[in-house]
Amino acid sequence: MFKKIMSVTAGLVLAGGLAACGSDSGSGGSGSSGDITMGFAQVGAESGWRTANTKSIQASAKDAGIDLKFSDAQQKQENQIKAIRSYIQQKVDVIAFSPVVETGWDTVLQEAKRAKIPVVLTDRAVDSDDTSLYKTFLGSDFVVEGEKAGQWLVDNAADSDVNGDGKINVVQLEGTTGAAPAIDRAEGFADTTSADPSIEVTASQTGDFTRDGGKQVMESFLQSDDSIDVVYAHNDDMGLGAIEAIEAAGLKPGKDIKIITVDAVKDGMIALSEGKINYIVECSPLLGPQLMDLAEKVLAGEEVEPRILTEETTFTPEQAKEALPTREY
């Protein structure tokens, strides 16, 4: 979330390719013109969502004729900072990145500003008092995603009380500690579910947005608590890991324990269509076309909104079955 500029009216720019919504490896999809060079510092490859996001950015850069220098930070902030400094030294035209965590960016972004290299944030925001350090932030409203997940639980509270004790015990699989989506999805969920006093988050732990992490944390939850009604996972991959742990414990995911996730990547949608997940809030990874369009506008000196939202929806099992045949990711 753009914590420091919530008073600014959000701009909405949709590109045709957008669904309703480490070390420098050199060019990840360079075009022939070479008129614009973009340095992109990716979070990593921790999930199906991130893989789809990377593919969208690389393909869109190629289509736009933008020379893309791509790096994978392997979920480490120090790797992203190193990559950004490398892009500054290489004198790229524009820098874009999805911050691993929200804080700790002012110094390196000041360096980019002094070098007169504009910065575009994608997917995740930074928490900084100086909003002049970046031109715009393109991505989802993570608080709203959490609110959507929480609202489904409030609306389906009776069916979610699997243990029938009048209480809905929720365990939360958090994203990477300090990451904007982890902070905001938890906040939105808590704010909405507070309307129903029967809903309580009894345990919350990071699974680091990975399937293995979700599985390990869920195994721990199941060993210490036999009254879990609902799992709320901050992304599909952790939810899919939770499914593995639940099945290994002899329980039926989606029935014995309800599951709510965020993302709507193909593996998650398949599990949803099979009834193993009960509800998914979409967070589209197909940001490439919008990002390339923004880069061109910024470099042309055009005015862009400081906050650009993606348009997204939600899915039930029935809706997942309908959407899967044409799903792009």
Split at pLDDT 50, 70, 90, the class of 329 is confident
Give the CA angle between residues 78, 234, 183 to the nearest 5°: 60
* Domain-located, residue 110: yes
* pTM check: above 0.85: no
Q: Tell whether the model's pLDDT for residue 18 goes beyond 80.
A: no
- 67 close to 27: Cβ distance less than 8 angstroms: yes
Tell me: do 47 and 20 sit in the same domain: yes
* Domain-located, residue 219: yes
Provide the pLDDT for residue 25. 36
Q: Domain containing 148: what range?
A: 142-282
* Domain-located, residue 316: no
Q: Tell whether the model's pLDDT for residue 7 goes beyond 80.
A: no
Render pLDDT for 29-48 as a digit per residue (tens, 0 to 9).
333 335 899 999 999 998 98
Split at pLDDT 50, 70, 90, the class of 327 is confident
- Split into its structural domains, the chain has a count of 2
Top-confidence residue, 310 or 146: 146
Strand order in the sheet with 230-233: 199-206, 168-174, 230-233, 258-263, 279-282, 314-315
Tell me: do 113 and 165 sit in the same domain: no
Provide the pLDDT for residue 9. 37
Token output for 25: 């490896």
Top-confidence residue, 5 or 70: 70
H runs (alpha helix) in 26-68: 48-64
Residue with token string 């002899």: 250
- Partner residues linked to 133 by β-bridges: none
Q: Classify residue 5 by its DSSP letter.
A: G
The CATH code of the domain that includes 21 is 3.40.50.2300
Rounded CA separation 154/116 (Å): 48
Render pLDDT for 67-107 as a digit per residue (tens, 0 to 9).
999 999 999 999 999 999 999 999 999 999 999 999 999 99
Distance of alpha carbon 158 from the chain centroid: 29
Tell me: do 151 and 262 sit in the same domain: yes
Split at pLDDT 50, 70, 90, the class of 310 is confident
H runs (alpha helix) in 173-302: 180-193, 211-224, 236-248, 266-273, 288-299
Token output for 245: 């742990």
The dihedral formed by the CA atoms of 183, 179, 29 and 13, expressed in degrees to the nearest 10? 30
Provide the pLDDT for residue 303. 94
Render pLDDT for 228-283 as a digit per residue (tens, 0 to 9).
999 999 999 999 999 999 999 999 999 999 999 999 999 999 999 999 999 999 99
The dihedral formed by the CA atoms of 213, 216, 222 and 227, expressed in degrees to the nearest 10? -10
Render pLDDT for 187-223 as a digit per residue (tens, 0 to 9).
999 999 999 999 999 999 999 999 999 999 999 999 9
Tell me: do 71 and 106 sit in the same domain: yes
* Domain-located, residue 274: yes
Average pLDDT, the chain: 90
* Domain-located, residue 275: yes
Split at pLDDT 50, 70, 90, the class of 21 is very low
